[in-house]
Structure 1
Amino acid sequence: MIPASGREQERLARAALTRVFEPGDERGGRWLREIGPVELLDRLSGTDGAARILPGMTEARLAGLRVRASGADPQRDLDAVAAIGGRFVCPGDREWPSQLDDLGDARPIGLWVRGRSDLRLWALRSVAVVGARACTPYGAHMAATLAGGLAERGWVVVSGGAFGVDGAAHRGALSAGGATMAVLACGVDVAYPRGHAELIGRIVEQGMVMGELPPAGHPTRTRFILRNRVIAALTRGTVVVEAEYRSGSLVTARNAIRLGRFTMGVPGPVTSGLSAGVHELLRGEGVLVTDAAEICELVGEIGDLAPKRRGPVLPRDLLDEQAAQVLEALPGAGAALVRDVARCTGLTADEALGRLYELHSLGFVEREGDGWRLTPGRTREGGVRRGGT
């Protein structure tokens, strides 16, 4: 029996509807928006013809939905998730991440959540790190390094809890003592994949696990793909680390682009099929990133800039223009007279001589009789020549 409280009625109805509709069902989402969860559940549970007047409803579809609705016991599901320390978060709750509303009629009916932290607050400063399940050691290293760097900077790392890049990203954040969230394509009481049972347990303790399916819900290929839209919508940006041309991670990236989120990719060897999808993304609207600082520059606040990238400063770089010209005028082998240096550089003999003495004091050149030559064992840049003394 549904309680009298309006808010509690809606919560129970939404919990029941997570057993009736598949994640991302836009037609169901439209009905939900137009008539509300309580009325929609009543129509699907009743025997009158009210459900038949819903736009797009067919007899076959209605029969299937009514079978699912007849087996729904929302209070049992709420009690089951509460027994493992979880909860059901609905649109309108203080904890609901409003950015999920960008999905329109495909937004989740509600989210089943495990973890002690506040979902809305964590989602406000979150980045998704996704990629191939059968990743290379390079992919696993990059995912863990990026996630650890993001966690150290106070960002929440979101991924899908799968093998490969997902697992490496979660572990990278956890090892840095940071926050991470796993968005599952199954019930939050189900450890899937089984090999990640311990990891998912650690995420529950140190972070958060969530999903659209009610307790005991099992994953399917379609549910994995639809789960990716939640990862894209929930976060400020998505980073793809290794993905083939046909990859669920690219589905996440395309969803992020469509939603106006930052979309990034980590390049790999051009000979690697596992990086081919990432490179195609980077040829389009994706932004190339190589470390956490570059990610934060995109998704962070104004002024949160990555350090400038440049090569080492060489002694040659510190010379003024005339001194550099004189240095370039000296031959690679043998010595040159002052007048020859002056003629080559366009300086007077006195100016050229003054610059030569300056270069001598800095160790670039040395005098040889009436001529000047490069110091043996030193390059024109001022470094030590390989094989030199």
Structure 2
Amino acid sequence: MTTEPTPTEERRARAALTRIAEPGDPAVGRWLRRHGPVETLRMLTAQHPLPGISQTRTTGYRLRGQHTRPDDDLATIETLGGRFICPNDPDWPSQLNDLGDQRPIGLWAIGPAALRPWALRSIAIVGARACSDYGTHTAATLAADLAEAGWTIISGAAHGIDSAAHRGALAAQGATVAVVACGVDKPYPRGNTELLRRIGQQGLIIAELPPGEHPTRSRFIQRNRVIAALTRGTVVVEAQLRSGSLITARRATALGRITMGVPGPVTSALSAGVHQLLREEGQLVTDAADIIELTGSIGDDLAPERHGPVHPRDLLAPATAAVLEGLPGHGEADTEHIARAAGTGVDQAASRLHELRTLGFVERHGNRWRLTSAARESGTPRIR
């Protein structure tokens, strides 16, 4: 009679598997779904062939399997003040399950916050590494405003837009999560060491890879799927036509999340990828209110109606406004001349002129009328 693996055995097995399998490996994900972590680990480290897997790939699994030390890795993350989060743990974000067989095996995490509640109301802000001052300012402002509104900012801790988004959230004393493509104890890029230290103290750093692992190109690409799945929506701020941030946006769309883009100058190559995204599938946003309306609660998070400034003349009744338009821009005119220009009767024009005089738009000089200096300076449009 076989016994069910204990939670501790399953945690150890998942920790070991993060050293054997690359992030997003669908074959390992399929075995995990069918057999569970303990049996999957046994399959990958045994000597019999693996179903549907080439011998070369099988050899790679076995070679890595010889060097797994799950107890050491779990002790290391504990020493760092972190933890290893597994599916079905209370802190596991259930939206990651939307990735199916590409769901993370587990997440190594450093930071004081609980991941699950933070991820429930979160936005990804991603974009170009070599960004412009416009992109840096926009990303930081969006992040700060969203953080002040109670949203978690999730990004990849890379140079450029990612860093600006994290810094904007931190400056607002808000919540931010860095999803890294290496071990949580390996600051990358090196230039962001201090930023990552601050995120680890105030927010969260999470990774699929165990402590000590280094990033590779494929790991960056796979990291993007986690960012897309964790959040309600992804905002792209500056991206060229070939950009990793567009991968994140497309994964978000495929997962049913909201994909958004901030437009930029049409003359900038850094805006070309965003504009393509907006043509194909993205929603155009310009501030935090736009983002919250698209991703927040239906009916509760509507952005304020946008309009230009309201001038006193905008509040005039149409007939009164027509008489005001009938006055010359410079000089004076009598009531009959103004009535003819306004297309109304003389008595009607006289009545409206007295109303306009009370409101401070016109002044009377004998039997002639003229605009006040305030009305002329306000740019009241003339029809003639």
Structure 2 length-normalised TM: 0.94
**Matched residue, 1:290:** 286
Report the alpha carbon displacement of residue 377 of structure 1 after superposing the two structures with TM.
Answer: 6.3
**Matched residue, 1:105:** 101
**Aligned match for 2:56, one of 31, 54, 60:** 60
Per mean C-alpha deviation after superposition, the further-off stretch among 339-348 and 176-185 is: 339-348
Distance of 1:264 and 1:59 partners within structure 2: 43
**Matched residue, 2:313:** 316
Which secondary structure does the structure 1 equivalent of 2:90 belong to?
coil
- 2:338 aligned with 1:341: yes
Which digits, 9 at most, give the CA deviation of each residue in 1:176-204, with x for residues without a partner? 11111000000011011111111111101
Report the alpha carbon displacement of residue 331 of structure 1 after superposing the two structures with TM.
Answer: 2.8
Which secondary structure does the structure 1 equivalent of 2:211 belong to?
coil
Report the alpha carbon displacement of residue 5 of structure 1 after superposing the two structures with TM.
Answer: 5.2
- In structure 1, stretches of 5+ residues that fail to align are none
**Alpha-carbon contact 1:111-1:210 (below 8 Å) kept:** yes
**Alpha-carbon contact 2:361-2:374 (below 8 Å) kept:** no
Structure 1 length-normalised TM: 0.93
Aligned length in residues: 377
Which digits, 9 at most, give the CA deviation of each residue in 1:81-102, with x for residues without a partner? 1110111111111111010010
Distance of 1:89 and 1:324 partners within structure 2: 67
Which digits, 9 at most, give the CA deviation of each residue in 1:297-318, with x for residues without a partner? 1212231122221111111101
**Alpha-carbon contact 1:182-1:208 (below 8 Å) kept:** yes
Task: Supply the AA of the counterpart residue of 2:56.
Answer: A
**Alpha-carbon contact 2:5-2:38 (below 8 Å) kept:** no
**Aligned match for 1:365, one of 357, 362, 370:** 362
**Matched residue, 1:221:** 217
**Alpha-carbon contact 1:377-1:384 (below 8 Å) kept:** no
**Matched residue, 2:23:** 23
Report the alpha carbon displacement of residue 365 of structure 1 after superposing the two structures with TM.
Answer: 2.2
Which secondary structure does the structure 2 equivalent of 1:275 belong to?
helix
**Alpha-carbon contact 2:91-2:115 (below 8 Å) kept:** yes
- CA change 1:5–1:105 in 2 (3 A) is closer
**Matched residue, 1:7:** 7
**Matched residue, 1:355:** 352
**Aligned match for 2:206, one of 204, 207, 210:** 210
What RMSD in Å do the two structures reach over aligned CA positions? 1.7
Which digits, 9 at most, give the CA deviation of each residue in 1:327-383, with x for residues without a partner? 11223344333223333434332111010111122232233443323335633xx71
- 2:354 aligned with 1:374: no
Distance of 1:84 and 1:274 partners within structure 2: 38
- 2:378 aligned with 1:383: yes
Distance of 1:59 and 1:282 partners within structure 2: 44
**Aligned match for 1:304, one of 301, 321, 333:** 301
Per mean C-alpha deviation after superposition, the further-off stretch among 367-376 and 319-328 is: 367-376
Which digits, 9 at most, give the CA deviation of each residue in 1:276-315, with x for residues without a partner? 1111111222111111122111212231122221111111
Which digits, 9 at most, give the CA deviation of each residue in 1:12-57, with x for residues without a partner? 111111111111111221122122211111112112x2x43x2x21
Per mean C-alpha deviation after superposition, the further-off stretch among 344-353 and 133-142 is: 344-353
**Matched residue, 1:96:** 92
**Aligned match for 1:199, one of 195, 201, 206:** 195
- In structure 2, stretches of 5+ residues that fail to align are none
